[in-house]
Amino acid sequence: MARPFSPTEAKRIIESHQKTIEKLNKAASSVKIYRAKVIEASDALVAKEVLKVLKDIPIEEINREKRGFRVKALRDHGYRTIADIVSASVYSIASVHGISEDAAYSIKIIVNNIVSKARQETKIKLNSDNRSKEATALVLALSQYRRSQPVADECRQLLSKNKQAVEYAEEDLNSAAGSLKWLFSSKVKKQKAIDAYNTLVALLEGNYGREAEAQTTIAETIDRSSSNEAWEDFSANSVRFFNDLEDINPGVLGNDDAMYGLPEDLAREIQEECFFPDGLLCELRRYQEWGVKYALHQERILLGDEMGLGKTVQAIATMVSLRNTGGTHFVVVCPASVITNWCREIRKMSLLSVTKIHGAGRKAALQSWVKSGGVAVTTYETTAYFNLPDDFKFKLMVVDEAHYIKNPEARRTVNVKNISLHAERLLFMTGTALENKVDEMISLIRVLQPRIASQVQGMAFMSAAPQFRKAIAPVYYRRKREDVLTELPDLIESKEWCTLSHNEEVAYEQAVLSKNYAEARRVSWNVDDLKDSSKAARLLELVTEAESEGRKVIVFSFFLDTIRKVSMLLGDRCTNPINGSVTPQRRQEIIDEFDKAPAGTVLVAQIQSGGTGLNIQSASVVVLCEPQFKPSIENQAISRAYRMGQTRNVIVYRLLCEGTVDEKIMSTLESKQAIFDAFADKSVAAMESQEMDERTFGNIIKEEIDRINAKYSKTEQLNK
Burial class (CB in 10 A: 0-12, 13-18, 19+), 467: exposed
CB-CB contact of 552 with 599 (8 Å): yes
Alpha-carbon gap, residue 629 to 662, rounded angstroms: 11
The predicted structure's pLDDT at residue 216: 95
Q: Does any domain span residue 362?
A: yes
SS3 376: strand
pTM over 0.95: no
Task: Kindly indicate the confidence band of residue 415, based on its pLDDT and cuts at 50, 70 and 90.
Answer: very high
CB-CB contact of 394 with 357 (8 Å): no
Alpha-carbon gap, residue 418 to 415, rounded angstroms: 5
- The 10s digit of each residue's pLDDT in 131-140 is 889 999 999 9
Q: Which positions ≥6 away from 204 have C-beta within 8 Å? A: 13, 16, 17, 20
Domain termination site, one of 424, 459, 484: 484
Overall average pLDDT of the 165-176 stretch: 83
The predicted structure's pLDDT at residue 222: 96
Task: Look at 219 and 439; give whichever has higher pLDDT.
Answer: 219
SS3 319: helix
Alpha-carbon gap, residue 603 to 596, rounded angstroms: 12
SS3 43: helix
Q: Which residues of 85-115 are buried (b: 16+ CB within 10 A; e: fewer)?
A: bbebebeebbebeebeeebbebbbebbeebb
According to the per-residue pLDDT averaged within each range, which of 27-36, 333-342, 546-555 is highest?
A: 27-36
**Phi and psi at residue 308, to the nearest 5°:** 95, -5
Of the candidates 652, 570, 667, the residue with the CA atom closest to the CA atom of residue 611: 652
The predicted structure's pLDDT at residue 687: 46
Alpha-carbon gap, residue 642 to 653, rounded angstroms: 14
Q: How many domains in the chain?
A: 3
C-alpha of 237 from chain center? 10
Overall average pLDDT of the 689-704 stretch: 82
249 & 261 share domain: no
Task: Kindly indicate the confidence band of residue 717, based on its pLDDT and cuts at 50, 70 and 90.
Answer: low
Q: Does any domain span residue 52?
A: yes
267 & 247 share domain: no
Overall average pLDDT of the 597-621 stretch: 80
What is the per-residue DSSP string for 633-695? HHHHHHTTTSSTT--S-EEEEEEEETTSHHHHHHHHHHHHHHHHHHH--SSHHHHHHTS--HH
Of the candidates 440, 426, 648, the residue with the CA atom closest to the CA atom of residue 546: 648
**Secondary structure, 3-state, 573-593:** HECCCECCCCCHHHHHHHHHH
Task: Kindly indicate the confidence band of residue 670, based on its pLDDT and cuts at 50, 70 and 90.
Answer: confident
Q: Does any domain span residue 720?
A: no
Alpha-carbon gap, residue 212 to 209, rounded angstroms: 5
Task: Kindly indicate the confidence band of residue 697, based on its pLDDT and cuts at 50, 70 and 90.
Answer: confident
373 & 427 share domain: yes
Q: What is the dihedral sign for C-alpha 521, 527, 530, 531?
A: negative
Alpha-carbon gap, residue 475 to 451, rounded angstroms: 11
Bridge partner residues of 58 (DSSP): 81
CB-CB contact of 372 with 302 (8 Å): no
The predicted structure's pLDDT at residue 65: 80
SS3 332: strand
Overall average pLDDT of the 427-451 stretch: 86
* 179, pLDDT greater than 70: no
Q: Does any domain span residue 627?
A: yes
Q: Which domain holds residue 633?
A: 491-714
Bridge partner residues of 305 (DSSP): none
The predicted structure's pLDDT at residue 684: 43
Alpha-carbon gap, residue 42 to 148, rounded angstroms: 19
Alpha-carbon gap, residue 621 to 257, rounded angstroms: 27
Task: Kindly indicate the confidence band of residue 715, based on its pLDDT and cuts at 50, 70 and 90.
Answer: low
Domain termination site, one of 192, 225, 254: 254
CB-CB contact of 39 with 249 (8 Å): yes
C-alpha of 120 from chain center? 25
160 & 232 share domain: yes
Alpha-carbon gap, residue 337 to 537, rounded angstroms: 6
Q: Does any domain span residue 167?
A: yes
Helix spans in 426-524 (H)? 438-448, 450-457, 466-472, 481-484, 502-513, 517-521
569 & 666 share domain: yes
577 & 697 share domain: yes
* 485, pLDDT greater than 50: yes
* 683, pLDDT greater than 50: no
315 & 175 share domain: no
What CATH number has the domain bearing residue 645? 3.40.50.300
Q: How many CA atoms lie within 13 A of 30 on its CB side?
A: 32
Alpha-carbon gap, residue 466 to 468, rounded angstroms: 5
Domain termination site, one of 203, 235, 254: 254
Alpha-carbon gap, residue 237 to 283, rounded angstroms: 9
CB-CB contact of 270 with 292 (8 Å): no
Q: Does any domain span residue 155?
A: yes
Q: What is the dihedral sign for C-alpha 146, 148, 154, 160?
A: negative
652 & 668 share domain: yes
Q: How many C-beta atoms lie closer than 10 Å to residue 589's C-beta? A: 14
Task: Kindly indicate the confidence band of residue 675, based on its pLDDT and cuts at 50, 70 and 90.
Answer: low
Q: Which residues of 557-569 are buried (b: 16+ CB within 10 A; e: fewer)?
A: bbbeebbebbbeb
398 & 479 share domain: yes
Task: Kindly indicate the confidence band of residue 681, based on its pLDDT and cuts at 50, 70 and 90.
Answer: very low
Q: Fill in the amino acid letter for 220.
A: E
Helices (H) and strands (E) in the chain, counts: 32, 12
83 & 169 share domain: yes
CB-CB contact of 324 with 278 (8 Å): yes
Q: Fill in the amino acid letter for 617.
A: Q
C-alpha of 292 from chain center? 15
What CATH number has the domain bearing residue 293? 3.40.50.10810
**Phi and psi at residue 260, to the nearest 5°:** 50, 45
* 637, pLDDT greater than 60: yes
**Phi and psi at residue 81, to the nearest 5°:** -130, 170
Q: Does any domain span residue 719?
A: no
The predicted structure's pLDDT at residue 187: 81
Q: Does any domain span residue 191?
A: yes
463 & 411 share domain: yes
Which helix H or strand E contains 385, and what residues bound it? none
- The 10s digit of each residue's pLDDT in 349-401 is 999 999 999 988 999 999 999 999 999 999 999 999 999 999 999 999 999 99
Q: How many C-beta atoms lie closer than 10 Å to residue 381's C-beta? A: 13
Q: Does residue 579 come out as left (phi exceeding 0), alpha (psi in the -120 to 50 range) or beta?
A: beta
* 630, pLDDT greater than 90: no
Task: Kindly indicate the confidence band of residue 177, based on its pLDDT and cuts at 50, 70 and 90.
Answer: low
461 & 577 share domain: no
